[in-house]
Amino acid sequence: MSRISACFAALKAQGRGALIPYLEAFDPDYETSKKLLAEMAQNGGDIIEIGVPFSDPAADGPTIQLAAKRALKAGATLSRILDMVADFRRNNDNTPLILMGYLNPIEQFGTERFLEEAAKAGVDGLIIVDLPFEEAKDVRASAKSKGLDLIHLTTPNTPEDRLELTLKEASGFIYYVSITGITGTNSATEEQLRQSMGRLRKVTNLPVITGFGIATPEQARSASHISDGAVVASALIKEMAGTLEDGKATSKTIPTVIQSLKKLAEAVRS
């Protein structure tokens, strides 16, 4: 059983959804990012989503765009991000890790080489935001052969026939983008989420997690109860960015993020 499947099975037994915190790799620097990754796993993060910084992040709002700029300035590369994952795996073999990014850096790295090295480092799943379903066949097959889940995104306005087409090839879980827009700019209502989950449950048996627009403990609790998990990204990055001085980490950086994460975790478990 994969780490992702084992995680959702354990959460189902506990009767709750997943809390999935997001961090931008190398934001604001390698050491802080590495420590945050470890601390998130120890303080309520059931699955952790790692953003791969990219200079043209079409789905990301201003907060994550700034995080990506800081990370690229700090020297983020795919190789170094995979090194960070491998280092994390030396002390944690249970927490699923998902890389979320864009196709260009992967193609520059070499798609097959990237998939091989990601699996070897200990990555469990990939979200490639701008990889169209129609062009994903080879990537999906290669990822599957290496034990990597290629996570599919759906949105409120995905047509029914396309849902059935794309989700039948999905693995790991489904990432429901709960708003029509970029990250951190709006939030779906509980009623909207319930309606969307009803629609998705008809076409997939995989866990469905909700992301984009979840900022507060109450929103995380609600999303994790209505779907199978909640991704919190921009809100945590804003907390972290507020502790920086001249773009650099301070003694408040990690404790501030972890304090917020603990509040989210408490809400999801309530």
Does the annotation count 27 as an active-site position?
Answer: no
| Coil, helix or strand at residue 230 | strand
* Catalytic residue (one of 27, 29, 39, 49): 49
Does the annotation count 49 as an active-site position?
Answer: yes
d(CA 19, CA 34): 19
- Mark residue 100 as left, alpha or beta (left: phi above 0; alpha: psi -120 to 50; beta: remaining): beta
* Catalytic residue (one of 60, 117, 149, 228): 60
209 CB-near residues (< 8 Å, 6+ apart): 17, 18, 20, 173, 174, 175, 176, 227, 228, 229, 230, 231
CA dihedral 66, 268, 39, 175 (to 10 degrees): -50
Helix (H) or strand (E) holding 83: helix 78-89
DSSP label at 156? Answer: T
Residues that are catalytic: 49, 60
